[in-house]
Amino acid sequence: MSGNSFGHLFKFTTFGESHGVAIGCIIDGSPPNIPLQVKDIQYWLDRRKPGNSKYTSQRKETDKVEILSGVFDGKTTGAPIALLIRNVDARSKDYDDIKDLYRPGHADYTYHIKYGNRDYRGSGRASARETACRVAAGAVARKILGENIEVKGALIQIGTKKIDHSHWNWAELNNNEFWCPDRNIVPIWSKYLEELRKAGTSVGAMVQIVASNVPPGLGSPVYDRLDADIAKGLMSINAVKSVEIGAGKEVAAKLGEENADEMRIVSGKPEFTSNNSGGILGGISSGQDIIARFSVKPTSSILKTLQTVTVKGEETKVSTKGRHDPCVGIRAVPVGEAMIACSLADHFLRAKALREV
Amino acid sequence: MSGNSFGHLFKFTTFGESHGVAIGCIIDGSPPNIPLQVKDIQYWLDRRKPGNSKYTSQRKETDKVEILSGVFDGKTTGAPIALLIRNVDARSKDYDDIKDLYRPGHADYTYHIKYGNRDYRGSGRASARETACRVAAGAVARKILGENIEVKGALIQIGTKKIDHSHWNWAELNNNEFWCPDRNIVPIWSKYLEELRKAGTSVGAMVQIVASNVPPGLGSPVYDRLDADIAKGLMSINAVKSVEIGAGKEVAAKLGEENADEMRIVSGKPEFTSNNSGGILGGISSGQDIIARFSVKPTSSILKTLQTVTVKGEETKVSTKGRHDPCVGIRAVPVGEAMIACSLADHFLRAKALREV
Amino acid sequence: MSGNSFGHLFKFTTFGESHGVAIGCIIDGSPPNIPLQVKDIQYWLDRRKPGNSKYTSQRKETDKVEILSGVFDGKTTGAPIALLIRNVDARSKDYDDIKDLYRPGHADYTYHIKYGNRDYRGSGRASARETACRVAAGAVARKILGENIEVKGALIQIGTKKIDHSHWNWAELNNNEFWCPDRNIVPIWSKYLEELRKAGTSVGAMVQIVASNVPPGLGSPVYDRLDADIAKGLMSINAVKSVEIGAGKEVAAKLGEENADEMRIVSGKPEFTSNNSGGILGGISSGQDIIARFSVKPTSSILKTLQTVTVKGEETKVSTKGRHDPCVGIRAVPVGEAMIACSLADHFLRAKALREV
Amino acid sequence: MSGNSFGHLFKFTTFGESHGVAIGCIIDGSPPNIPLQVKDIQYWLDRRKPGNSKYTSQRKETDKVEILSGVFDGKTTGAPIALLIRNVDARSKDYDDIKDLYRPGHADYTYHIKYGNRDYRGSGRASARETACRVAAGAVARKILGENIEVKGALIQIGTKKIDHSHWNWAELNNNEFWCPDRNIVPIWSKYLEELRKAGTSVGAMVQIVASNVPPGLGSPVYDRLDADIAKGLMSINAVKSVEIGAGKEVAAKLGEENADEMRIVSGKPEFTSNNSGGILGGISSGQDIIARFSVKPTSSILKTLQTVTVKGEETKVSTKGRHDPCVGIRAVPVGEAMIACSLADHFLRAKALREV
């Protein structure tokens, strides 16, 4: 109820501030007897961690995860799985400059108003550092979903520069620092980000997540639709300002027959001839690929000088140094994957509960 | 947990099928002693009900609401408020044709797979008829929020035809059948929809909701952010495929300084010089207008013939007669308003609970 | 969150005041395709309804239930099941006398303080009338549990007069007006209650519920133990002041070896040689009979004159006429059964969700 | 939903096994700006920890708590408070003997059936060690409730030996190792427990908790009554088999006029002349002392030989050595206090949320 949990049957609750002792989470709801080791989680954390590339924050966090409970003899027991990640490179002194002012685009102002206090050190709970816990929870969700269900994300736009979807090649993702599926745009993005960094600014981005081999029947109408829960999960990621499912925003401009995903019988089974629905009909998975997209705003912390106000109500200017991602959308890719994996694991367990007696 | 509830402290649970005896909801969590009469709810229901204009379904539902509990001497008591709306114009015979096939774009297929049964009469729970209950709950939410907080929606795009935002005039909304704030586009839309109706097809739309005078401090980071809960609420509306907050999808193309909402001191108080954030920072309301947009897909039931499959696994064709909205986006306007009003009421109560002791 | 719901996966939410238009509930979480008809619910409602015997309230409520949703072609669909019971014999005028005072033992005072208002007509939500909805929900829970699992209750004490447990005979329950399993005590209780009625007073009682053939493995440690949820469910019934599981309060006086339920192998399977645990170990069902007991206080509304205070803060006296049960414990038997059936159904679904993938 | 959380607005979730790396909890829902230091929590943990007296387990756990998050500059921030307690004296080898059998009265059998696995080392999650986290959460709950509200527990019965309630003196609690308010029975209990220890057995106990100065109006009818939530909280404590509120089980034997708590006006305010209700009417606090009692069964692990069965289905005998409390009821006193403090804090926040707008 205080907003630090996600999910219902597969539920995780996170804690920890960017510049506190540690961050971590409790995953409550994992079925028992699922093989789980530190390396299963560490693999995904390593993909998200800062300092991976020159285009992300240079904060040196090892993000080493410790499993405190819930696993015995290499398997989940059904008890809550507590994960702990110690903070090792928090430099709170970096934040002395902004201690008494509100940074535009940040949650400084709203947290202060809401809570009557403010953890100015790296934004506290509002920091993107919290997303490491989402990725850790997502790693456990993937184990529950099994190897057949894949949840993969890609960066499809940085600023005004979009990939060419006809060039989409999943295999390219590991060949660049952007999770980019279109090799042609990689050098363009590299040059672009280099220019933006020199200019002391940041840029927005667009991420697409695809979940394959999701069984039909996941999702709980009417309010806990699979797409509604995915929308909530993605919109809860720092800096996200839009969420789309399937044809998304484009449906507004379409006619009925253009948007219809017709059905055929192929090899004796129903199949859809298109996927404008993004794999979800009436809030329930259809068996098609689940396709979601979200936009990520440009990092609010930029070197360029902006007008703002102080805690005491005076006008001032701010230029943020610190170690910030010029395009926070890059690191949002594994986070988006994790949120969708968690939503799927939750609805997977919910579907099991309501299966016929 | 079975998905028929929305909210936490201000919570409503709906029931009823499109062609069943009745629909209704229980609103649990209303504070006591709030003046509430049938007419307070009926007013909003009348705005959503079908048959209001020639551009919406011709089903004749009076949508007369009965308050069964929770109100005594004209005021809420703090007990659950049960609302009942009898169905009066359900023509189940209209659905005999589609009893044995899956309509493209509908939830027929996924419900059947999920539940192993199918209420083919008007889609059962998947029908947009359920949204009347959302509007009823929204009416109570508005009473809790008080008259100062306004939640207003407008239709800003039908198909490829968008309004001119510089012509925005809230006063126009009651002068047309579209909830349209731009008088210039009204005749264009009328003509367009007339053509589409003749062509036996449907079209998508875009809706924008604005909530004004929302106090800062509403929203519960990290997962129950106000924007995340709004995204869930809007995405849970039938046919919605995207949700945006503030600058929304456009942020992907922006630079840091373009997207920054700078702050000034005006009359001794902090103010923002722009509202790309849509009134929400770090998941918490900032005091600016809350701005959300969502796209609504074209009605799936169209006269045009589409390919589909039968329940028995054979290919067939379908052309839907029945009484359907050519542009379901029109009636989505009051529903979108209601969902945002409910999200705000929920976070309003949540903020009260966590206020300093 | 406002307290009108019970359960998590099998969840019901009730509404309605004693002297309002109607009472009812929404059951959300029933699996689909379970045969369900009005008569399946009416059967249990008829057992609870007032006016069944001369020892219960003479209010003439037919308690006719209407299924508004969630059932199609005689089976549950998986959609919420809404049940409605119209109030037909509410005599609000009976309450004019107590409109301005607080009846001792009633919730008049605490409701007034909590909500700042008061529905004096038959106690509103605090009335035992609400328990009809519990019985209705319990009827659906029984269908989910299946015929093999039996939940049966018995009255084992009225005032100082206890049954002889060695005479326990379930078959006797339908032969008397008390749900009493010991035929010898029936005439004693009859005479006793007749005297109490003449004396214008009321008396407490003790109820025991036994659930048989419950599969082992139900219950979710650590906080949602099966016994903890049963304790909550039973303590939430009007007038209940204690809950015991198995040996209950007696364990305080026992030694380790006296209380131990030893195990043997019988016909190749583990069996317990006693059942002090009441069928629950570590919060999880063991496969033995689940045994729970609860005490019910004497009806607070009595003819005898009691000291009390008025709403305006003056001392006064009160003698309650009206139509009240001299021993509300009698009608608590089917209610206790229902709460345990609902707890079991909830944990039955929860166990399914967490079963190995 | 998996049962490791307690509360709604003031909610805590625990993790950790008796013989794992650590135990701990996340408290989500603390209001901001409440002074909180490690010592505020450590004080209460020290009261519960094993090895405090010769009558409790000799396991040497320092139970040193670490605050990982949610506190900044000595005050709560409103963010989740994560607490960590490392296990330091887990001797898993002690459990090799019972690795392959089910100990009577323990959760070995039911956990194995439910989860298909078994953490035999000190019972894993089923260990009373988990209760340290409840006490830690209770310490935070007390800070929220403020110093005026006191929650105090006492041991009132060990085996057949009950205190004399007329000798009750709260000041005695710190003068003995039993939390006993009656100094006369202390030497009797000491001698009794010494004899039981020599005899290799254990004994049950009864605990009473009193919460004073609780404001009227806490509790959410109908299902989340304050007494129902207290019953759930207390019954969820290891080894508890009964819960009573106020006159508790005795009400079954009472007449209406005996049980009635009459009201008077004293110094211009309503007062009750007795407290059979235990401070709760209709599920809502009345302002009187809240009084709850619970029985604790004798420790299941005893030196005396008992019949049991092995994991493989063979009969065997068991005699438990290890380091066990002869009367686990003693250490249940601070745990019971904690659960009630947590229930009150939860309803305290819930009452704030629903207060009139």
Residue where the block lists tokens 């359900």 = B90
Distance from CA of C132 to the nearest CA of A (A): 26
Residue bearing tokens 């009007």: C238
In A, minimum Cα distance to C221 occurs at A79
Are A354 and A9 in contact, with CB atoms under 8 Å apart? no
What is the phi/psi pair of residue D166, to 5°? -75, -15
Q: Which chains touch D (3 or more CB pairs under 8 A)?
A: A, B, C
Residues of chain B with Cβ-Cβ distance to C15 below 8 Å are: 26, 68-70, 79-82
D124 touches chain C (CB under 8 A): no
Q: What is the pLDDT of residues C311-346, one digit of tens each?
A: 999 999 999 876 677 899 999 999 999 999 999 999
Closest CA to A224 of D134, B7, D47: B7
pLDDT at B351 over 90: yes
**Closest chain A residue to the Cα of B352, Cα to Cα:** A114
**What pLDDT was estimated at residue B321?**
77
C78 in contact with chain B, both atoms CB, cutoff 8 A: yes
For residue B251, the 8-state DSSP code is G
DSSP C44-82: HHHHH-TTSSTTS--------EEE-SSEETTEE-SS-EE
**Cβ-defined contact of A354 to C29 (cutoff 8 Å):** yes
Q: Give B239 to chain C, closest Cα distance, Å.
A: 19
Nearest to A272 by CA among B128, B110, B112: B110
Identity of the amino acid at C332: A
Query: Which amino acid, C31?
Result: P
CB pairs under 8 A between B and D: 41
D3 dihedral zone (left: phi>0; alpha: psi -120 to 50; beta): left
C270-321 pLDDT, tens digit per residue, is: 999 999 999 999 999 999 999 999 999 999 989 999 999 999 999 999 998 7
> Which pairing describes strands A315-318 and A306-309: parallel, antiparallel, or unpaired?
antiparallel
A24 in D contact zone (CB under 8 Å): yes
* Helices of type H across chain C: 38-48, 108-115, 131-145, 186-198, 226-235, 256-259, 329-354
Question: Any alpha helices (H) in A89-164, and if so which ranges?
Answer: 108-115, 131-145
pLDDT score for D322? 66
Rounded distance between C-alpha atoms, residue A186 and residue A175, angstroms: 10
Q: Within a 10 A sphere around the Cβ of B161, how many other Cβ atoms?
A: 14
Angle, CA B267 vertex, CA B264 and CA B269 arms, to 5°: 55
- The span from the CA of C253 to the CA of C250, in Å, is 6
Task: Confirm or reject contact between B253 and chain D (CB < 8 A).
Answer: no
Q: Is B31 on the interface with D (CB under 8 A)?
A: yes
Average pLDDT, chain D: 93
For residue A330, list chain B residues with Cβ-Cβ distance below 8 A: none
Confidence of residue D329 (pLDDT cuts 50, 70, 90): very high
Interface test with D, best of C297, C307, C346, C350 (most D CBs within 10 A): C297
Q: What's chain B's length in residues?
A: 357
Q: Give tens-digit pLDDT for D304-318.
A: 999 999 999 999 999
Give the pLDDT score at C136: 98
Cβ within 8 Å, pair C9-A349: no
Among A144, A354, A355, A356, the strongest candidate for a mutation testing the C interface, having the largest count of C CBs within 10 A, is A354
Residue D90: the pLDDT is 67
Sort out which chain C residues have CB atoms less than 8 A from B68's CB and list them.
15-16, 20-22, 24, 84
Q: Distance, in angstroms, between D1 CA and closest chain A CA?
A: 6
The Cα D256–Cα C304 span in angstroms is: 9
Give the per-residue pLDDT at A93: 67
Section B197-203 average pLDDT:
94
B329 chain-A contacts, CB cut-off 8 A: 252
CB proximity D50 to C under 8 Å: no
Contacts of B304 (CB under 8 A, 6+ apart): A256, A257, B199, B200, B201, B319
Rg of chain D (C-alpha set) = 21
List all chains that touch chain A, counting a touch as 3 or more CB pairs closer than 8 Å: B, C, D
Instruction: For CA atoms B292, B297, B298, B302, give the dihedral sign.
Output: negative
In angstroms, the CA C120 to CA D249 distance is 29
Q: Identify the closest residue of chain C to B24 by CA–CA distance.
A: C82
Distance from CA of D352 to the nearest CA of B (A): 5
Summarize the confidence of residues C35-64 as an average pLDDT: 83
B354 vs D32: CB contact, 8 Å cut-off? yes
Dist CA C22 CA C16 (whole Å): 6
A68 → closest Cβ in D21, D32, D69: D21
Name chain B's partners: 3 or more CB pairs within 8 A.
Answer: A, C, D
Q: Which of B198-207, C143-152, C314-323 has the lowest mean pLDDT?
A: C314-323
Helix H or strand E encompassing C161: strand C161-162
What CA–CA distance (Å, rounded) separates C198 from D151? 43
For residues D87-116, give the mean pLDDT: 86
Chains that touch C (3 or more CB pairs under 8 A): A, B, D
Residue B57 in this model has a pLDDT that exceeds 80: no
Evaluate if residue B55 carries a pLDDT over 80: no
Among B70, B72, B82, whose Cβ lies nearest the Cβ of C24? B82
Q: What's the domain count of chain C? A: 1
Q: Does A107 touch chain B (CB under 8 A)?
A: yes
Question: Rounded CA gap, B251 and A76, in Å?
Answer: 41
Mutation site, D8, D9, D12, D13, interface A, largest A CB count within 10 A: D13
Q: What is the mean pLDDT of residues C169-185?
A: 95
Residue B83, phi then psi, degrees to nearest 5? -120, 135
Q: Of C229, C213, C178, C216, which Cα lies nearest the Cα of C340?
A: C229
Q: Exposed e or buried b for every residue in B338-353, given b needs 16+ CB within 10 A?
A: bbbbbbbbbbbbbbbb
CATH assignment at residue A179 = 3.60.150.10
Say if D314 is an interface residue toward chain C (CB within 8 Å).
yes
pLDDT tens digits for C96-119? 778 899 999 999 999 999 999 887
The predicted model gives B152-164 an average pLDDT of 98
Alpha-carbon distance of C255 to C181, in angstroms, equals 30
Interface check for D73 against chain C (CB to CB < 8 A): the answer is no
Distances (CA, A) of A100 to A3, A95, A103, B74, D74: 27, 10, 10, 49, 19
Which amino acid is it at B242? S
**D285/D296 Cα distance (integer angstroms):** 25
Which tokens belong to C169?
Answer: 């005979």
Among all residues of chain D, which has the CA nearest to that of B1? D1
Q: How far apart are CA B219 and CA B228, in angstroms?
A: 9
Residue B308, chain A, CB below 8 Å: the answer is: yes
Mean pLDDT over each residue of chain B, to the nearest integer: 93
> pLDDT at position D353, please?
86
Range of the domain at C336: 5-353
Q: Does C312 touch chain A (CB under 8 A)?
A: no
Does the beta carbon of D322 lie under 8 angstroms from any beta carbon of chain C?
A: no
What is the DSSP secondary structure assignment for residue A96, as one 8-state letter?
G
Q: Is C124 in Cβ contact with B80 (below 8 Å)?
A: no
C-alpha atoms less than 13 angstroms from C-alpha of A161 in its C-beta half-sphere: 17
Cβ of residue D353 closer than 8 Å to a chain B Cβ: yes
Q: Is 50 exceeded by the pLDDT of residue D357? A: no
Question: What ipTM was predicted for this assembly?
Answer: 0.96
pLDDT truncated to tens, each residue of chain A (357 aa)? 789 999 999 999 999 999 899 999 999 999 999 999 999 999 999 987 766 677 766 667 789 999 999 999 999 999 999 999 999 876 666 677 788 999 999 999 999 999 998 877 778 899 999 999 999 999 999 999 999 999 999 999 999 999 999 999 999 998 999 999 999 999 999 999 999 999 999 999 999 999 999 999 999 989 999 999 999 999 999 999 999 999 999 999 999 999 999 999 999 999 999 999 999 999 999 999 999 999 999 999 899 999 999 999 999 999 987 667 789 999 999 999 999 999 999 999 999 887 754
